[in-house]
Amino acid sequence: MNVRPTLHCLLAVLSLNAVKGNDQNSSGVCSGAPGIPGIPGTPGQSGMPGRDGLQGLKGSDGTKGAKGDKGAIGLMGPKGSLGEQGPIGVGQRGIKGEKGVKGEPGPQEESDNASINWKQCVWKRDDNQDTGLLQECLFTKRHSSTALKVAYAANMRVECSGACCGRWYITFNGAECSGPMAIEGVVYVNINSNVHRHRQIQGFCENIPSGLIRVAVRVGDCSGYGTSDRASGWNSVSRIMIEEYPESQVD
């Protein structure tokens, strides 16, 4: 490269600028080849971070998409292994129950003659008792499922100055029959009389347990009437007749 013309031109320009000042263009004094690029300067320091911008407005919701197709049923997984057997439970023995009540003995196979069970109690006396027990007759009943037929026969009389009534009735161990109803009979008069007449009352009674039964005849007041003068068995035999019957024959 030819350095001399360039250097000569540079010196001429510097001299001219010194005399005339820098207000004139010296580009036409000389021209030469472009110079070599200078060394890049040191980068400046980074600036401070800027402030966050304002938050933008919320956008509108998009259109709801169509429902997707139902997926295929998954395959059944393999069967799990059998679990371990649990421990055997430990229980306590229950308390022994109480002994039940002994049942009634069953009916025995008997002949027709052996199955007859009856009794009668007879006496002869004048009973002028107005109320209470007249006579008791003990009877052994063989079975709980049977019925008792009881009949009382005697002379009976009531007496008063107007209307009066007397009631004769049967009891079993001190209680009147309730299966189905009481066995009773009444004598009523509405005139002053002293008439003794033979009468009989009878009936069947069910639901009586087996064993010894106290069958009794008693006299008392009628419902709605007071006590009057009563007589039983005057100048005649009185009797109580008791028979045990299969319950199936009782209507």
4 in helix, strand or coil?
helix
Residue 67 to residues 60, 61, 62, 156, Cα–Cα distance (Å): 21, 17, 15, 107
24-28, 37-41, 78-82, 90-94: least confident range: 24-28
**What tokens does 143 get?**
């079975």
Is the residue at 232 inside a domain? Answer: yes
Is the residue at 78 inside a domain? Answer: no
Look at residue 5 in the predicted model and tell me its pLDDT: 52
Overall average pLDDT of the 218-222 stretch: 96
Is the residue at 10 inside a domain? Answer: no
Per-residue DSSP letter, 229: E
Is the residue at 74 inside a domain? Answer: no
For residue 130, the enclosing domain spans 118-249
- Looking at the chain, the whole-number percentage of residues with pLDDT higher than 70 is 76
Whether the predicted pLDDT of 22 surpasses 90: no
Q: In 56-207, where do the E strands start and end?
A: 118-124, 132-141, 146-159, 164-172, 175-176, 184-189, 197-205
Overall average pLDDT of the 197-220 stretch: 96
- Looking at the chain, the whole-number percentage of residues with pLDDT higher than 90 is 47
Beta-ladder partners of 13: none
What are the pLDDT digits (tens) for 151-167? Answer: 999 999 999 888 999 99
Give the range with max mean pLDDT: 15-19, 65-69, 97-101, 243-247: 243-247
The number of distinct structural domains making up the chain is: 1
Is the residue at 56 inside a domain? Answer: no
Is the residue at 199 inside a domain? Answer: yes
How much is the pTM? 0.54
What are the pLDDT digits (tens) for 100-127? Answer: 777 776 555 444 444 589 999 999 999 9
3-class SS letters over 20-54: HCCCCCCCCCCCCCCCCCCCCCCCCCCCCCCCCCC
What are the pLDDT digits (tens) for 71-95? Answer: 778 777 787 777 777 666 565 677 8
Is the residue at 196 inside a domain? Answer: yes
What are the pLDDT digits (tens) for 169-204? Answer: 999 999 999 999 999 999 999 988 788 999 999 999
CATH number for position 216: 2.60.120.1340
**What tokens does 28 get?**
């036409």
Overall average pLDDT of the 203-230 stretch: 95
Is the residue at 100 inside a domain? Answer: no
Mean pLDDT of the chain: 82
Look at residue 133 in the predicted model and tell me its pLDDT: 97
- Higher model confidence: residue 78 or residue 136? 136
